[in-house]
Amino acid sequence: MSEAVSPVENPTDPLPLTGERTVPGIAEENYWFRRHEIAYVRMLERCAGKVVLEAGSGEGYGANMIAEVAAQVTGLDYDDSAVAHVRAKYPRVHMVQGNLADLPLDDASVDIVVNFQVIEHLWDQAQFLRECLRVLRPGGKLLISTPNRITFSPGRDTPLNPFHTRELNAAEMTELLVEAGFSVELMAGIFHGPALVALDQKWGGSIIDAQIERALAGEPWPAELAADVAAVSIDDFELLADTERDIDASLDLLAVAVKQ
């Protein structure tokens, strides 16, 4: 008798939560998903009518959002399962597998590179930024976000997240971008708005810490915490330029860098 063959996993099924990326549609992950999603929503207008590369597209929800307004969107990721998932679930995205340190695109071939919550995972951040500069057309823009090291791993030189290689503050991010050949048009931060500030107070000073504590404990979440997290929307976050609020107090950094 021949050995039974396991059915092939459906690539449209939700990607597993590994801690390396966020995915939509999971109630307990909703806070982090919305905190990532705001960058796409607020930067979407800059992608309108443009040829866009999302370098490190992960689950693909962001590239699919961009495809609603862009002339063309290419998604790029190194992970086999992510590439298969995007190709199956988001057909508007031209999905390519490749290494972010050696982008498989021609010189001066795109108008916009999007890189949200990815650079902190890379070993050679400077090389990646040089590659972004290479594939951008003159006047093209890099839209990039990353956790703010000062608030994400406070008081540490090494990241708390085991999937992060190096986290940055605003000054370090600016220095990397300028050294790669970009000029920085905007440096902004993502902050908790009033509703999330109220939840911070409700949950002992930090809704983030409350979630992390429950996750590390490996126990079911209190129903009230689960409901509060599931109700978070992008409107509960604020995106403010460094001229509007102390950038070092932000949760995440979001920069717009231009190729001259």
- Going from the C-alpha of 50 to that of each of 40, 130, 232, the distances in angstroms are 15, 21, 31
* pLDDT attached to residue 8: 39
User: How far, in Å, CA of 13 to CA of 36, rounded?
Assistant: 21
Q: Which helix (H) or strand (E) holds 138?
A: strand 136-147
* pLDDT attached to residue 216: 81
Chain Cα centroid distance, residue 206: 21
* pLDDT attached to residue 93: 98
Across the chain, which has 260 residues, the per-10-residue mean pLDDT values are 41 59 80 95 98 96 97 96 94 96 97 96 94 98 95 71 83 98 98 98 95 86 95 97 97 97
Read off the pTM: 0.89
User: How far, in Å, CA of 115 to CA of 94, rounded?
Assistant: 16
User: How far, in Å, CA of 257 to CA of 133, rounded?
Assistant: 10
Domains, the chain, with CATH or none: 27-191+241-259 (3.40.50.150)
Chain Cα centroid distance, residue 152: 14
